Copies of this chain bind each other. A is one copy, B any other.
């Protein structure tokens, strides 16, 4: 909608540390459980989101999502936003670097 995409992603396991320099990123857990590790001033912390919970990662904050079980999440972000951000750690084979797939 407008210049934004609403995306649904099926995730499991550990994503890669990455950062979106120019956009916040909104997460809603549809099913399952999502942990988001955040590198903040003063140290690292992890937010744990159960089904129905939401969190917005502010632009510029390095983060790494992790799903301990098969999980579906809804994301809201500007069209073209890359799933691994503008900068990221080395990409393991299982990580999908994408701006989204058509349904």
Is there contact, CB below 8 Å, between B1 and A56?
yes
CB-based nearest B residue for A72: B52
Q: Is the interface of A mostly helix, strand, loop or mixed?
A: strand
Q: How far is the CB of A3 from chain B (nearest CB, A)?
A: 10
Count residues on chain A whose CB falls below 8 Å from chain B CBs.
17
Copies in the assembly, this chain: 2
Q: A78 at the A/B interface (Cβ < 8 Å)?
A: yes
Count chain B CB atoms within 10 A of each CB in A28, A52, A54, A76 and give the residue with the most.
A76
Q: How far is the CB of A28 from chain B (nearest CB, A)?
A: 7
Complex Cα distance, B9 from A44, in Å, reads 33
Q: Mark A56-79, 1 if CB is under 8 A from B, else 0.
A: 100100000000000000101010
Extra A-B contacts (16), CB below 8 Å, given A4-B4, A6-B76:
A1-B23, A1-B24, A1-B25, A1-B26, A1-B56, A1-B76, A2-B23, A2-B24, A2-B59, A2-B78, A4-B76, A6-B28, A6-B54, A6-B56, A30-B52, A76-B76
